[in-house]
Amino acid sequence: MPREKTDDIRRKRVGLRPVDDMDRKILGELIDDADISYARLSEKVGLSPPAVHERVKRLREAGTLVKSSAIVDGAAVGKPLLAFVHVDTSGWGKSAQLMQITKHPEVEEIHSVSGDTCMMLKVRTRDTQDLESLLAYLYAIPTVTATRTYVVLSTYLEQTVQAGITQDWPEPDAITQLQTGPDRQMIKQM
């Protein structure tokens, strides 16, 4: 079976100006509020509105700022059940039949992954019956050999891609001190 081209998945940014600290500040503000005006954004980052507009334009042209979208509460639109589905397939994970599932609004993300599964889906449904119907749909695909479903009980962090980069990760000893120090009560309460 010939290998499928995946060049369009992760485009290389050849010859483009790298993202600098000011770009990251702008992106951070846009992540917090995609509807912010250029005037307000310029106040927050300390540049003139035309300079901010030009930077946002360049970030869009470079493909760094892909799109602006609304974040919708799943329960408010009748889909409170969030789950991650690991999909095992015979052969290469991605197939035309499997990718047909993208037509269903319950499927929020599809990833090809390494490890003990081929594909991982993030899905949001009305209830367990709808989740079961989605799983039945998957099992009707001839190349799907198994699934493992993880239903989310609580979500502590769900966010879009963040513009910042951690420069100095804490040493393991610092993490241990946080877990055993006076702040331990706060951790337990979370």
pLDDT of residue 5: 54
pLDDT of 14 > 80? The answer is no
Q: Kindly give the residue spans of alpha helices, DSSP state H, lying in the chain.
A: 21-32, 38-45, 49-61, 96-99, 128-139, 172-180, 184-189
Q: Where are the domains of the chain?
A: 21-61, 75-151
Same fold, 21-61 and 75-151: no
pLDDT digits (tens, 9 = 90+) for 147-184: 999 999 999 999 888 999 898 888 887 676 666 655 55
User: Whole-prediction pTM value?
Assistant: 0.76
20: tokens are 């600098």
Say what angle helices 21-32 and 38-45 make with each other, to 10 degrees. Answer: 130
pLDDT digits (tens, 9 = 90+) for 97-154: 999 999 999 999 999 999 889 999 999 999 999 999 999 999 999 999 999 999 999 9
- Domain 21-61 in CATH 1.10.10.10? The answer is yes
Instruction: Name the CATH architecture for the domain at 75-151.
Output: 2-Layer Sandwich (3.30)
